Structures are given as C-alpha cells and as structure tokens.
C-alpha cells in the first residue's frame, strides 16, 4: 500500500465506503484503523490489509464485503502494469473554478438557516440530539440542520449571572428595594427589579477541516456559521495543512452563500492535518489582535496531527497563556471507549481548560455550560 497523499483522509474515506456497504464502521473504528496502521509497516500492503481487516470487521459475513471494498478503494481503475501496488486514490481535488467539491456538495441538499427555532424538552426530535452526526440518514439532515442553528443561537445568548438594574424585570431586587425604603422611614413605596444581563462572549473558533473530520464538518460548519451570526465578537479560522481566516466568508447572511464563499477561500479542505503549524500561524498573525484574558479560544479537532509535535506543544502553551480559556471539542470523544492516546491529543491536553465532545447535538448544546467556566 502506498503512503502517497494523506493517510488519515484515505482511511476515513475507506471507512465511509465500508459503512455504505453495511459494515458497522463509525468514527471509533476509523480511529482504531489509524492506530492499527501506526503499528505496522504501511509500505507493506499485506500488513496494512490484515491490520485494517482486524479492526474493521467483527463478523464472518463481513470478510467478503471487506475484501471487495478494500480492492475497489485501494486500487484505482487504471492499468495494473507489472503488478506493483497501486497508490490510494488522490485527495479531493479542487474543481476547475477553485472550489472544493466535498464542501459544495452540501449546498444542494436543502440546508435550513432561516427562522427562529425552539429546542423541545422532549419529543421524537429529542432523540436526534443523542445521535452521532456520522449516523444520520439523508431524510434527517434538514431537521438536524435546523436544530444545529437553534442550539448555536441558544449558546450564543447564554445568560450571565451578573444582573443589571431595570425599571421592569422578572426578578425582585430586594436589597435595592430595602435601601430605597430607608429614605422614606422604612415604607416600601416602589419595588426595584433586576434581570439577567445577556453577555456575548468573545470567542475565537479554530476548526479542523481536514479529511479525518469529514464525518462531522458538515454540521460543525453550520454550527459555527450560526454561532458567529449570534455572537457580537467572534472570529472563525479553519485549518488543515494551513490556516485560513473565514470570518468574512461566514458573514454572508445565507448559509449557502457562506459555504460557497468558504469553498473559494479555503485551499485545502479535506486535506492533511498540521495542527501545530496552523496554531503557530494563528498566534503570529492574529494573536495580538484577538487574544486577551477575556477571550475564549475553541479548538474543534480530532487531534490527529501529521506535523511537528514540538510545534504543537509550544503553540498550545502560548495559546493557553494568552487566552482566558481554551476549550477543545473532539468528535471522537463521544465514541464508546475512546481515549485520547494519539500523540497530538496527548500533547495538547495539558493546555486545555475544557475537553469535551462535538459528536452530536447534545454535545453542542452543552457548550453553553462550558462557556460559563472560569479558570481556577
């Protein structure tokens, strides 16, 4: 098996193809496959085949399907030549107009962004909040898209614990009422009120859009879009092998137009992953303007980094020192039995204030709680 291109993206694509053929392969299995390949010689096709078959099949009936998909995926329809191993398929290429097909394919699938949505306390829709993003069927996508937007708005409008004085409000300000009554000999003439002050948190979003995140990027980019529109001060940057600022692109009022703009802007969507290098670029170019003790930096990534680990550790240390809080959202954390054992995630964790999942709607809804945390 050739190691040309980005191995992570190829493995994710292979797992997606197996899932389409009926095998129970999800994000956890994809992560297991990457770990298995790390333990063998990836230049040896037989070792790779056995490693992948071991972790991606669980029943005897799966073996025949696996073998067929393995041959189809890792052998492009080109002349076989002398029998040498064929390289994996190329990474998603840019279209003739410079746009990313994987991203633009979402534009024609009825993405919903308009209207005020509510989040039901209990209904059949509530079942969707617990379902992994990678497991949704096509007929559920519109409903999930609407809920993603609703949750983003709710998170953005988180009520702070601090109060402000108002003429009318839903809470009685007893202390101020008594203080005013003392001026009139203890007689209460007027009730003072207070209400919660809506606090729009300063947020910097750093989202991984590499190939290994493809299963989740569709929903996370919608969440980021809605969050940016609801928050007063937010900056959005995406990264794969390089970093791209997409705040302006996502400022379009319509999600379809925003995605089209992002597709023109990001050169390496679904590419490889160099988290450390991307964070270093962010700190150098934007750190002085965007990072303050009041800033919440949110990194959304599965932690698979093909770059220099020392660069990642240094960048995370600086990010933690300069931001008020660092939140890391990892979709794989929602998989049963997941442990952050990949090198990139292990290096980053000591500099993370909140380590949480981003694999379903409920995990995004819990971001409301995470934004309220303060460093001890």
Structure token pair of residue 99: 């746009």
Distance CA 283, CA 288 (A): 8
pLDDT of residue 300 exceeding 50, the answer is: yes
Distance CA 90, CA 333 (A): 28
Residue 194: phi and psi, rounded to 5, are -145, 165
Q: Which of 225, 214, 208 is nearest to 300 (CA)?
A: 208
For 32-84, write each residue's pLDDT tens digit.
Answer: 888 888 777 777 788 888 889 888 988 878 888 998 899 888 875 544 444 33
> Is the distance from CB of 235 to CB of 204 less than 8 angstroms?
yes
Distance CA 243, CA 337 (A): 31
294, burial (CB in 10 Å: exposed 0-12, middle 13-18, buried 19+): exposed
pLDDT of residue 109 exceeding 80, the answer is: no
345: enclosing H helix or E strand: helix 343-348
Please list the alpha-helical segments (H only) found in 211-296: 214-230, 255-265, 275-290
pLDDT of residue 9 exceeding 80, the answer is: no
> Is the distance from CB of 356 to CB of 327 less than 8 angstroms?
yes
pLDDT at 111: 44
pLDDT at 226: 85
Question: CA angle, corner 75, sides to 91 and 97, nearest 5?
Answer: 30
Return the higher-pLDDT residue of 163 and 184.
Answer: 184
pLDDT of residue 196 exceeding 70, the answer is: no
For 90-102, write each residue's pLDDT tens digit.
Answer: 333 334 444 444 5
pLDDT at 93: 38
pLDDT at 188: 57
> Is the distance from CB of 324 to CB of 294 less than 8 angstroms?
yes
pLDDT at 308: 92
């Amino acid at each position: 098996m050739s190691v040309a291109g980005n191995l992570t993206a190829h493995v994710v694509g292979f797992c997606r193809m197996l899932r389409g053929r009926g095998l129970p392969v999800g994000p956890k299995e994809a992560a297991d496959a990457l770990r298995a390949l790390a333990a063998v010689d990836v230049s040896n096709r037989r070792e790779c085949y056995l490693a992948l078959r071991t972790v991606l099949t669980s029943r005897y009936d799966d073996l025949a399907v696996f073998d067929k998909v393995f041959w189809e995926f890792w052998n492009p329809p080109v002349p076989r030549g002398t029998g040498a191993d064929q390289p994996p398929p190329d990474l998603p290429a840019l279209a003739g107009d410079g746009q990313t097909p994987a991203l633009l394919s979402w534009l024609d699938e009825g993405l919903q962004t308009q209207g005020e949505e509510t989040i039901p306390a209990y209904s059949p829709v509530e079942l969707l909040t617990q379902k992994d993003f990678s497991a949704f069927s096509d007929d559920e996508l519109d409903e999930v898209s609407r809920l993603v937007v609703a949750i983003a708005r709710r998170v953005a409008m988180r009520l702070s614990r601090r109060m402000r004085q108002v003429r009318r409000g839903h809470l009685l300000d007893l202390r101020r009422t008594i203080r005013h009554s003392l001026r009139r000999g203890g007689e209460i003439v007027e009730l003072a009120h207070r209400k919660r002050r809506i606090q729009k948190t300063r947020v910097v979003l750093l989202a991984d859009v590499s190939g290994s995140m493809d299963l989740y990027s569709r929903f996370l980019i919608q969440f980021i879009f809605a969050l940016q529109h609801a928050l007063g001060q937010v900056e959005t940057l995406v990264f794969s092998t390089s970093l791209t600022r997409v705040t302006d692109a996502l400022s379009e009022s319509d999600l379809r137009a925003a995605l089209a703009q992002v597709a023109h802007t990001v050169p390496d969507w679904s590419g490889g992953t160099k988290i450390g290098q991307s964070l270093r670029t962010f700190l150098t170019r934007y750190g002085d303007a965007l990072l303050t003790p009041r800033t919440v930096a949110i990194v959304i990534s599965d932690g698979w980094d093909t770059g220099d680990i020392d660069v990642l550790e240094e960048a995370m240390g600086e990010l933690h020192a300069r931001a008020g809080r660092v939140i890391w959202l990892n979709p794989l954390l929602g998989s049963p039995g997941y442990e952050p054992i990949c090198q990139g995630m292990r290096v980053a964790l000591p500099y993370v204030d909140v380590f949480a999942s981003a694999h379903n709607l409920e995990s995004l809804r819990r971001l409301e709680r995470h934004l309220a945390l303060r460093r001890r």
